Structure 1
């Protein structure tokens, strides 16, 4: 008789979902996270609120990548019920609200994130975009029409500050476990990045890749090093690795034009027409006159 196949645990399903997410397989990631959520909820384990919150937030990120903003909002809201003031869930919900042109709700979530951590560029950029959009719509009195902005408890701010002091601020789908760089590490990382830049100018992308990787080992919070390394990965036809670096850059800076463009290039090479076009449209909302993006969009639209 054939052996019965062992069913995967919720943790194994979560890890498989993370792998699919990094590979740009967002539909598969949603299915795996859904199975993981179902298993964890059925287990009846006490104290699993944080794990469930992460799963809902991860599935929300997958929905967001696929353009399913309504489902993203639902999952982020569930995550926030389990663990109030989770900044990743707030950022993802804000992005979905923004995409649906629900700018007041997006503004509230972005502002809430800034109460939690003032040093997140994505939240600052979001607030600036929403301020402009709401001013255009409602005029100088736009603040009067906002929903209430919740007050973040001091304990949440202190917890985030403590985490930021011992972990990098690259918001990956896996646990943050990289130490925040000190001044010496930042200085060394900058020097290594400059060496990488010099290799790129010479056309030696393999050597540049090595320097950028060393630089990120010193300082994993530098956005431009990820986009620079993504360029090297593209040149070396390592397209999935380029996707991963662009994902990291966009998690830290949701309006990073180079990250959108290089991720679109990677998607094009991987024959993922829909994701390629989506990234280019996102880029062109930020920079409508970007000629390179306009040209790549025309090429992508002709893909079969």
Structure 2
């Protein structure tokens, strides 16, 4: 196609093309397709705030890609690189699972204060998130804040009373 245009209109063929029409935001959100992910985890269509950026859907998709890259680094055992990817993802889209994933990395890297902060952020987004409660309790145990760790595990056990890992951690916290 480029060759035909080049022969017909010369080297300036691009300048003769009509401008690309802009697609209204309302149409973009109507046509957005939920990304393939975990069952039931469809992303709601994003709309730009008045005076906001049209990049919200693109940002959400980029955040998802960065999170997946972080997940791959975790599988390879490279937690420092995973933290970088999760951090980039969170700048574009605050998501509970990304916070809990980064908290796991911080636990592995023995950065317990950072793990507590990420779990707290995850719990701000989802107050009953089991992973956030469990990982924060793990970090609090390492920081020797046993009372707060026990409180988190008790909250977790209200949601999942038979969670064996949580029951084990509760015993450890009570012994400490």
TM-score (norm 1): 0.40
1:1-304 aligned within 5 A: 165=49, 182-220=56-94, 222-303=95-176
Deviation at 1:181, TM superposition (A): 6.8
Report if the CA contact (8 A) 1:181-1:218 is conserved.
no
- Work out the CA distance in 1 between the residues paired with 2:144 and 2:54: 37
Cα distance change of structure 1 residues 273 and 201 upon mapping to structure 2, 3 Å threshold = same
Cα distance change of structure 1 residues 180 and 246 upon mapping to structure 2, 3 Å threshold = farther
Q: Deviations over 1:114-170 (max 9, x none)?
A: xxxxxxxxxxxxxxxxxxxxxxxxxxxxxxxxxxxxxxxxxxxxxxxxxx948xxxx
**1:271 aligns to what SS in structure 2?**
coil
Runs ≥4 in structure 1, deviation > 3 angstroms?
none
- Work out the CA distance in 1 between the residues paired with 2:135 and 2:49: 31
TM-align CA RMSD: 1.8
Question: Which structure would you say has the larger Rg?
Answer: 2
Q: Which has the larger helix fraction?
A: 1
Deviation at 1:239, TM superposition (A): 0.6
Report if the CA contact (8 A) 1:209-1:232 is conserved.
yes
Deviation at 1:219, TM superposition (A): 1.0
Cα distance change of structure 1 residues 251 and 181 upon mapping to structure 2, 3 Å threshold = farther
- Work out the CA distance in 2 between the residues paired with 1:210 and 1:298: 34
TM-score (norm 2): 0.69
- Work out the CA distance in 1 between the residues paired with 2:61 and 2:117: 25
Report if the CA contact (8 A) 1:205-1:236 is conserved.
yes
Deviation at 1:289, TM superposition (A): 1.0
Report if the CA contact (8 A) 1:250-1:256 is conserved.
yes
Structure 1, gaps ≥5 residues long: 1-163, 167-178
How many residues align structurally?
127
Name the residue aligned to 1:92.
none
Structure 2, gaps ≥5 residues long: 1-47
